[in-house]
Structure 1
Amino acid sequence: MGLGDLISSLKDNPYFGAGFGLLGVGLLASVGRKGVQFGGVFLRRRFMVTLEVPNKDKSYQWLLQWIATKGTKTQHLSVNTTFHQTETGRIMTRYDFVPGPGAHFFAYKNHFIRVERKREKNVMDVSSGTPFESVVLTTIGRKREIFFDILEDARQLALQREEGKTVTYIVGGSNWRQFGYPRRKRPLNSVVLDSGVSERIINDAQDFAMNQEWYTNRGIPYRRGYILYGPPGCGKSSALDYSICVLNLHDMGMADDRLHYLLSIAPERSIILLEDIDAVCFNRDLAAQNPTRFEGMGKLTLSGLLNALDGVTSSEGRLIFMTTNYIERLDSALIRPGRADVKEYIGYASDHQISVMFRRFYPDQSDSVIGKFVTDVRQHKQDVSVAQLQGLFLQYKDDPIGVCQNTHQLWSS
């Protein structure tokens, strides 16, 4: 039998025809699936733009809150509970519904946006101890600017929610996290410092914030350091009217590289506060006198702190406030210009401060009563702190006569 006869017999065989047909159908289906896959990839690469925002990014929570305000078409929600302080001082609870894990949709500036919130159950964020999450935004088109607009709108919305509030951040793991709830900012005139002190600090900080170009044109690093020094209880920390990042240098896990990293990722529009820095940053002259005095301290070194404040790798555009009760204990390299550009003494209460505080607690009293109170205070105690005065006023908060008759209590406070 020749080859032609064999092919002719197979063609007439119904079993062979059915098998060949099935093979053809399977081949066509496979080619079709591959075509759809390649077509989907081609469309995404050529005609779609995608943005992924991981939960470790600063804009992650801003974006979720902003998406919630756009009224996404979903009934699958997650709750984000926050607290805020009212004008009367009451703490109110607010429940914000944000998109839950899954796909959601909304429209923005004539663009159709698909939102997918992903949660990796088997991958944990080490710093927060929560599952790793991300939000993926997808839109048709090739203009990435739409995502810049969305992120900027989300940032502005977040700033509006915190406007007029003081937000405190502390270190959690390898990142900053908000501590407590945003508190209503204290008016500048509520901080009773000596005449002109608050104004000098705030005016200098505002001048720094508005003159980045001036620093750049002159080749000066764009950063500013302040050191507030004086006796305890005199209001050194209260002089700050900004959101505050409290950095605890006493943390045994604080090392040079970690300090560098935390300063570089500090939240915007915040002041980095290093309180009681004399308890950590020792004077090299004192160390030479007593070599064993500082044994057992953490891995943070003086040179590491100096480089973080004013080194080649130190970040710019920041304000750092340091407070100390004993400026004489600080190393001279720490308090030189470039690290501590502004030094402000916050001392014991002056006659002006005593008068202002008395009038604030007892606004109906005459000038003669206030003058007599100041005289009585000075007779009993020359060096009186703002904290001591406030404690006395709180003890007699509705009794101006009682507070005037008991100034001797300042001796024992």
Structure 2
Amino acid sequence: MARPHLAGQTVGQIYFEPWSHGISVMRAVLTRWSELDITHTGSIIAIAGVAPSAWHFIKCTWQDISGWVSQFFLASVTIPGGDPLNRHIIQWIQANKSRHYRIFTGRSEVQRDNTDRAAALKKTRRPVQYCPHWVSRWFWHQKNFFIATRAMDSFKTAISNPAYDGIGGEDLTISCFGRSADPIMKLIDVCREFADQQTQFFVIIYSRDRYGLSWQPKYRKPIRRLETVHFDDDVKQDLVADIKQYLDPKTQRLYQSRSMPYRRGYLFYGPPGTGKTSLTTALAGEFGLDLYEMKIPSVATDAELEQMFQEIPPQCIVLLEDIDAVWVDRSFSSADSRSNGANDKSTCTLSGLLNVLDGVGSQEGRIVIMTTNKPELLDAALVRPGRVDMKVFLGNISQKSAEQMFVRMFAPELSVDSILDIRHVQELASQFAKQIPEDTFTPSQLQGFFQLHLNSAADAALSIHSWVDKELAKSSEKDFEVVSSERKVIR
């Protein structure tokens, strides 16, 4: 017997109509509600009114119980949000105690390594970085039960920092069952060893946050090899040997036994673009040290400068860039601001800087590196022995360094020319270096040339002669105009 064919159906198929089904369900609910006894309705309303109070009672009871358990059965260690140790612990937890996360912190990615230079020049949307965010975590480690809790009241402050990446920033409390905090301290040592392993590949660069209240990791850079910074090889070897000797624990004991202050200062000077900052970053990677950038013109007072130096840990590098421009620019800006009726915000003085370098309140165990383009403008008190123990000149590139740079740029393992071998590259490098005049171009200028010819070593060797002629012609031209505030043109 054939089934009747209904509207909205085909043979052997019945369509489901959600609208008519929803109406039937609603009709059934209303029918049941109309049949509900009024006494039952009153009971439901009464229960609904008591529910918030019951929930508040349960919540307070739970807090009291957890507080009582924490007081009598748990040992704990709290790490402030701005301390580097905070970040190390959270990185270790997320790397070694993985789990499924449901809550994330979404941030627009500020910096990312892009090897495609053509794509980097295009205006594209920045990718979103999703970092797992959690308030409480529990885990087992070496037969101990741990509870990690992040303070939510400090989360808003942390996330307001543009450099926040979801790792660290909130106050962190590590707890474990027992009367002793030794398991927690051992766990912290494990986290620190994990962080030290990460520094084998990256240099962590710290700077003050936008409020000037604490040091925060600004970004991390892949380690740059010292051979990529081109200047006199003998001077480079002397510099590395000096720093290695200073960091030797025996040297520290010798300094302390003779009541000598354990600190070391260096001055890197030379024309712009010769690699002073690059050398500092390479040294930090070579010796596994963190790098702390300090811009003294942005420091408000001597007291703030002293506080910043006191918060810097030992065994690190402190970078003071363009130290010659600190008080020169300030004197100009102060005169200009007075003429405009404005006040200069910074009152940091030279004596304040000298005090934090080697004064009574100075800390020990750090390496301070100052860079300048104009060493003749520096005060003699700033560069005397004890504050600057070694001066390193980074000048224009030599033919020998230019040959080394060519070989490094077109090494067979990096070059797209698969037919090249190291001997051929060295031959091209020798031809290339002969076209470079001594002490004329900076390493950054030569690097700019290589960026235009990365796909062919032969093309780079053939094109260098015309490039040199153009650059020499540019340096001899005096057609740049400087327009002052009075609209006067100076040639």
Write the letter of the residue equivalent to 1:247: M
Cα gap change, 1:48 to 1:325, in 2 (>3 Å): same
**CA-CA distance at 1:324 after TM superposition:** 0.7
1-structure distance, mates of 2:160, 2:268: 32
* Conservation of the 8 A alpha-carbon contact between 2:75 and 2:180: yes
Output aligned runs, 1:25-40, within 5 Å: none
Distance 2:159 2:116 in 1: 39
Q: CA deviation at 1:359?
A: 3.5
Instruction: Tell me which protein shows more helix as a share of its residues.
Output: 2
1:402 counterpart = 2:463: yes
- Decide whether aligned partners of structure 1 residues 59 and 373 sit closer, same or farther in structure 2, where only a CA change above 3 A counts: closer
Aligned partner of 2:294 among 247, 253, 260: 247
Q: Which position in structure 1 is the counterpart of 2:79? A: 53
> Is the Cα contact below 8 Å between 1:308 and 1:314 reproduced in 2?
yes
Distance change >3 Å, CA 320–CA 293, structure 1 → 2: farther
Q: 1:157 to 1:359 in 2, by over 3 A?
A: closer
Residue of structure 1 equivalent to 2:216: 177
Distance 1:391 1:44 in 2: 61
Shift of 1:267: 5.4
CA contact (8 A) 1:116 1:135 kept: yes
For the structure 1 residues 54 and 74, does the alpha-carbon distance in structure 2 shift closer, same or farther, using more than 3 Å as the test? farther
- The corresponding residue for 1:143 is 180
Identity fraction in percent: 27
Partner of 2:8: none
Residue 197 of structure 2 corresponds to 160
- The aligned counterpart of 2:444 is 387
- Return the offset for 1:72: 7.5
Amino acid in structure 1 at the alignment position of 2:149: E
Q: Is the 8 A contact 1:227 1:343 kept in 2?
A: yes
Q: What is the CA-CA distance between 1:136 and the residue it aligns to?
A: 2.5
**1:107 maps to which residue?**
140
* Structure 2 CA distance for aligned equivalents of residues 369 and 39 of structure 1: 73
User: 1:293-332 to 2 correspondence within 5 Å?
Assistant: 296=344, 298-332=346-380
The alignment's TM-score, normalised by the length of structure 2, stands at 0.64
Give the structure 2 partner of residue 263 of structure 1.
309
Query: Which amino acid in structure 2 is aligned with residue 385 of structure 1?
Result: T
Matched AA of 1:350: S
Give 1:11's aligned residue. none
Q: After TM superposition, give the deviation of residue 193 of structure 1 in Å.
A: 1.2
- Taking only aligned residues, the RMSD between alpha carbons, in angstroms, comes to 4.1
Counterpart in the other structure of 2:152: 119
Q: Distance in 2 between matches of 1:231 and 1:106?
A: 54
Amino acid across the alignment from 2:274: C
Read off the aligned partner of 1:209 and give its amino acid letter. L
Structure 2 unmatched runs, 5+: 1-60, 121-126, 285-289, 339-343, 412-422, 476-491
1:183–1:75 CA distance, 2 compared to 1 (3 A): closer
Write the distance in 2 (CA, Å) between the matches of 1:188 and 1:386. Answer: 14
CA shift for structure 1 position 282: 5.3
Give the aligned partner of residue 377 of structure 1: 436
Deviations 1:52-83 (A, max 9, x none): 22323332222222233453788665458888
Counterpart CA distance in 2 for 1:68 and 1:368 is 50
Where relative contact order (Cα < 8 A, 6+ residues apart) is larger, the structure is 1
Q: Does 1:64 align with 2:110?
A: no
What are the Cα deviations for residues 232-290 of structure 1, in whole angstroms up to 9, with x where unaligned? 22222221221422211221x4321222222222356531111110001459xxx9xxx
Q: Secondary structure at the match of 2:268?
A: strand
Report the TM-score, using the length of structure 1 for normalisation. 0.74
Offset of residue 115 of structure 1 = 3.0
> Which residue of 2 is the match for residue 346 of structure 1?
394
SS of 1:193's partner is coil
Cα distance 1:159–1:95, how it changes in 2: closer, same or farther (>3 A)?
farther
Number of equivalenced pairs: 367
Structure with the bigger percentage of strand: 1
Contact residue 85 and residue 192 of structure 2 kept, 8 A: yes
Query: Cα deviations across residues 1-39 of structure 1 (Å, max 9, x unaligned)?
Result: xxxxxxxxxxxxxxxxxxxxxxxxxxxxxxxxx9xx799
Quote the residue 1:193 is aligned against.
231
| Partner-residue secondary structure (3-state), 1:204 | helix
**How has the CA–CA distance of structure 1 residues 255 and 110 changed in structure 2, closer, same or farther, with 3 Å as cutoff?**
same
- One-letter code of the match for 2:464? V
